[in-house]
Amino acid sequence: MSGTGRYAPSPSGDLHVGNLRTGLLAWMFARSTGRSFRMRVEDLDRVRAGAEQRQLDDLAAVGLEWDPPLVRQSERGDAYTAALQALVDAGRTYECFCTRREIAEAASAPHGTPGLYPGTCRTLSTAERDARRTERPAAIRLASEVVEATVTDLLHGAYTGPVDDVVLMRNDGVVAYNLAVVVDDAAIGVDQVVRGDDLLSSAPRQAYLATLLGIAPPTYAHVPLALNADGQRLAKRDGAVTLADLAERGLAVDDVVAWIAESLGMTEARTAGEMLERFDPAALPREPWVVVPPA
């Protein structure tokens, strides 16, 4: 099979074992199906100095290898501008002047839907838009023509989720995540997206947006997250959960890989290569991994 998989970390800090686990899963899904595998740095915001290199070093240390070149979102502004302009020219966008507070209040109103934009600015008149422009810069939103879409997920099956008028460009001029990820995946031929299942609900929006841009949506595999003992998403504050912290506790890299492998039911694997040899998507756990750092 040809095609491409990818992993796309955001350099906002060091990767924890849950991030490394998702990266290894993305790599195994791709390599086990004969796909190439690419690395994309999602550095449009929340960038911490030195984090990108530490992340790449940690991923390489656990045995994850990728095909060049490395892609950085910060270097792809022209591609985002072109995609946004195509949607504007097609009449599929509108200006939005709502603040976060206004959106939250509208979504929580009796007829609102929590988490979804209710389309407040979609029907503004020309005069109303002109007046709002004097108050604050506009974001650009997609004028969706559907309310839901269905994607195929290798672990969740057919998943149908809502599609609202997502932001395409923020009011500070920075392209929004949903547009950037669709454009980037298409540019490097990604046809398989493996990521945490907290992003499953965003897949229908992104798949719909892809079709509007003439892009075939990828196949998805949303894998269970790593959680702390309280059932919350794992974070660095939860203790020794990064390679550097674990090394201070006496765990070598192959110990960490074996720990990750065990969480996936691969009890005898100690390297990424051994994990790939044992990889079976059907046998992957469907429940979150509750991470208990070593004492």
Binding site as annotated, residues for ATP? 236
Amino acid code (one letter) for 245? D
Binding site as annotated, residues for Zn(2+)? 96, 98, 117, 121
Binding site as annotated, residues? 6-10, 42, 96, 98, 117, 121, 177, 195, 236
Phi, psi of 108 (to 5 degrees): -95, 0
- Catalytic, out of 72, 129, 236, 278: 236
As given in the structure block, the two tokens for residue 164 are 């609202």
236 is catalytic: yes
Contact 138, 97 (CB under 8 A): yes
Integer CA distances (angstroms), 123 to 128, 135, 184, in order: 9, 18, 31
Contact 260, 24 (CB under 8 A): yes
Interacting residues of 96 by C-beta distance below 8 A, sequence separation 6+: 117, 120, 121, 138, 139, 140, 141, 165, 167
As given in the structure block, the two tokens for residue 212 are 């509007």
As given in the structure block, the two tokens for residue 104 are 């939250």
Beta-bridge partner residues of 38 = 6
SS3 sequence, 184-229?
HHHHCCECEEEEEHHHHHHHHHHHHHHHHCCCCCCEEEEECCEECC
Q: Which residues are catalytic?
A: 236
